[in-house]
Amino acid sequence: MNQKAVFIDRDGTIVEDVPYCNSPRKIRLLEGAGKAIRRLNDQGFLVILITNQSGVARGYFSEETLGEIHNKLKEDLGYFGAHLDDIFYCPHHPAQSCTCRKPATGLIDQAVAKYGLDISGSYFIGDRLIDIQAANRSGCQAVLVPYTLPETDYFKLEISVDSRPSFLAGDISAAVDWVLADALGKASVSVVIPTLNEEKNICSVLPRLRCVPGIAEVILVDGRSTDKTVENALRLWPEIKVINQPGRGKGDAMRAGFEAACGDIVVTLDADGSLAPEEIPCYVGPLFDGYQMVKGSRFCRGGGTSDMPLFRRFGNFVFTKMANLVCGCRYTDLVYGYHAFRRQILGSLCLKSDGFEIDTEMYIRATRKGLKVKEVPSYEAKRLEGAGKLRSFHDGARILRTILRESVNG
- Residue numbers annotated as active site: 9, 11
> What is the DSSP code (8-state) at residue 191?
E
| Cα–Cα distance measured from residue 283 to residue 294, given in angstroms and rounded to the nearest whole number | 6
The radius of gyration of the chain from alpha carbons, rounded to an integer in Å, stands at 24
E-strand stretches of 269-347 = 293-297, 304-305, 339-342
C-beta separation of 126 from 145 below 8 A:
yes
Three-state SS letters, 107-134: HHHHHHHHHCECHHHCEEEECCHHHHHH
Residues 218/240, Cβ–Cβ less than 8 Å: yes
The Cα 265–Cα 292 span in angstroms is 9
- Rounded Cα–Cα distance for residues 222 and 210 (Å): 19
305 with 298: CB under 8 angstroms?
A: yes
The residue type found at 171 is: D
Element (H, E) at 167: strand 167-168
Question: 256 near 277, Cβ under 8 Å?
Answer: no
Task: Give the SS3 label for residue 13.
Answer: coil
